Chain A
Amino acid sequence: MYPLKVENLSFAWGSKITIDDVTFSIETGTVTSILGPNGSGKTTLLKLMLGFLSPVSGRVMLGEHDLATLDLAMRAKKMAYVPQRHTAVFSYRVLDIVVLGRIPYSNVFCRITDNDYQIASECLTQLGIGHLAERSYTEISGGEQQLVLIARALVQQAEILIMDEPVSGLDYGNQLMLLKQLRRLAQNGITCVKTTHYPEHALWTSDRAIFVRAGKIIATGNSADIINSSTLKDLYNADIRILESEAGSQKMRTCVPVFD
């Protein structure tokens, strides 16, 4: 079962083709990392998958439905977007931001009910940040802000979460905390797709990886299978070795650069 399929997708800014005939499928309950150098088309691909951009050709399938013909609210019930944490202009209460995830279920006046607030509180608790509910979004830390945006996506009760570089700008501890949360979400059956600049993170959290270079997919498959010295050399043009070491009860792989 593939909740999300990308079929022969192409996109161009003017005459410059930035996504070139891309095809892949995302499986239920997996974490997929989209890796690629700057300007490779990762973000464009993400925006196409979210329907923010319309493809020149090809299509995105959400289950049985073509994304292009799906009504916006229906789309939002199936797929949620976790943006890079933004510099908020207004200081909303955390709970009021999270409850916006109920908008796709609300009426024409965006009416939010007590039940919606209940769901929002539960999602905050589920992510271990229930204590932040009454705080102001602008006053909490970067890692907490990212979790709040994930909580909002969970409130949407969508089966797919699409995240744009969820760890960007977070300190190391918060990065690890976030990766752990992603693993938990996937274990609970939520399908996560994220772009990332860290092949290590793909090894630690994600089942699948997609390598994008110059708008084309150059490799796709299990992270552990496709992330190695030679593919990383291909992708980033850098010499990187993969080491494996014991960490607690598990074996973890790390990327080590070669500076010779």
Chain B
Amino acid sequence: MTAKKYRLTLTLLVITLAVTAYISLHIGTISIPWFAVLVSFDAGELDISAETAETYKTVVSQIRLPRVLTALLCGAALAISGAAYQSMFMNPLVSPALLGVLAGAAFGASLGMLISNNILVAQLLAFGFGVVSVGTAVLLARFFPGNRLIMLIMGGVISSSLFTALLSVIKFIADTQNELPAIVYWLMGGFSAVSSSAAAMVLPFVAVGIVLIIAMSGYLNVLSMGDEEAASLGVNVKRSRMVLIIITTLISSLTVALGGMIGWVGLMIPHIARMICGADNRQLLPISALIGAIYLLIVDNICRTAFAGEIPIGIMTSLMGIPFFILVLSRTESRWN
């Protein structure tokens, strides 16, 4: 995509994201007048009592804003991680879920929930086991000869199964009164339980991670040429890939610590972005991040407003993702050959 078209697309996406976020702040169980945020909850302007204005303000700033920020940053993080993984492993079929990151992080976070009440412990363990599971997938793929693309998927499947099994052990051990339901509901995915303090603690890391990956997007173009070619172009392959794996795994694990297992975003969004802007990672990554943010924000809005009770977001992304991805696959197949 030419520089001009790219800037235009970027601008349009930023506007769409801003509008979606603005709308998201106003919709929900308590429906808030559309101009409330624009007029800073001025009771006179909105023609409501000062008390109601105060309630609206609290709902928006304490509940909805953290949730909106969490949803959009998690969407951006998952989408950009998927795009980065796909490029660095030269494999359009991998994603945080397929490489086992989500399963590993889920195991780590549930272990954390079991042994401690401190959210920091859950987050650290989520990240730790996220790294372990990618490592397992990549090492298994190296260990067996054969088609690199397929072996990495196999490695991911094995690593995913391993941590899913370990997660079952945690569920089995967990106390059925409190811990088990908490783990199960959290794993289905959702941002309803995200406290503003947890969001404030975790989201800066996610945001910095996203910025760092975008800054390194030039490396992804080189790495996607293959190890030997990248080395012949003067890039230290092992070091740059290791740095990228750590950052991508960090941010995708943190989404698990915040919102549970949210599948399909990391696989689907990069493909959609690639259809829009092509394969160049310097454009693909920012566009993936923005589309991922908009997508997860919209899905989260549906989850919390469509029905009387809230639907877990992981279920929604799968239900919406699968048919959409089949459509995308049928249109992009030729681009992979």
Interface residues in chain A, defined as those with a beta carbon under 8 Å from any beta carbon in chain B: 47, 50-52, 72-77, 79-81, 83, 86-87, 89-93, 96-97, 100-101, 103-104, 106, 109-112, 136, 138, 156
Contact = CB atoms under 8 A, between A and B. Distances in A.
Contacts of A91: 278-279, 335
B228 interface: yes
26 contacts: A51-B231, A74-B234, A76-B234, A80-B232, A81-B232, A83-B226, A86-B225, A86-B226, A87-B337, A89-B149, A89-B336, A90-B92, A93-B278, A93-B280, A96-B221, A96-B279, A96-B280, A100-B221, A100-B222, A103-B233, A104-B233, A109-B216, A110-B216, A110-B221, A110-B235, A111-B218
A47 B229 CA distance: 11
Given A89-B91, A91-B278, A76 B218 contact: no
Contact of A72 (B91, B219, B234): B234
A80 B233 CA distance: 7
B61 interface: no
Contact of B232 (A76, A92, A109, A110): A76
Contacts, number: 84
Nearest to A53: B228
A52 B231 contact: yes
Interface in B54-102: 87, 90-92
B26 interface: no
B192 interface: no
B171 interface: no
Contacts of B139: none
Contacts of B92: 89-90
B278 A92 contact: yes
Contacts of A83: 226, 228-229
Highest count of chain A CB atoms <10 Å: which of B216, B231, B232: B232
Contacts of A75: 234
A47 B228 CA distance: 9
B304 interface: no
A109 B233 contact: no
A156 B233 contact: yes
Interface in B84-142: 87, 90-92
A21 to B, nearest CB: 25
A221 to B, nearest CB: 28
Contact of A90 (B216, B232, B233, B274): B274
Interface string B187-213: 000000000000000000000000000
A77 B149 CA distance: 31
Given A92-B280, A138-B337, 11 more contacts: A89-B91, A89-B92, A90-B224, A90-B279, A91-B278, A91-B279, A100-B233, A103-B233, A104-B234, A109-B216, A110-B218
Given A72-B234, A104-B233, A52 B228 contact: yes
Contacts of B165: none
Contact of A106 (B87, B218, B228): B218
Nearest to A110: B218
A106 B280 CA distance: 17
Nearest to A164: B228
B328 to A, nearest CB: 15
A65 to B, nearest CB: 14
Interface in B146-191: 149
Contacts of A138: 335, 337
A89 B335 CA distance: 8
A51 to B, nearest CB: 7
Contacts of B274: 90
Contact of B218 (A50, A90, A112): A112
A197 to B, nearest CB: 20
A109 B217 CA distance: 8
A81 B228 CA distance: 9
Contacts of A93: 278-280
Contacts of A112: 218
B229 A81 contact: yes
A89 B218 CA distance: 17
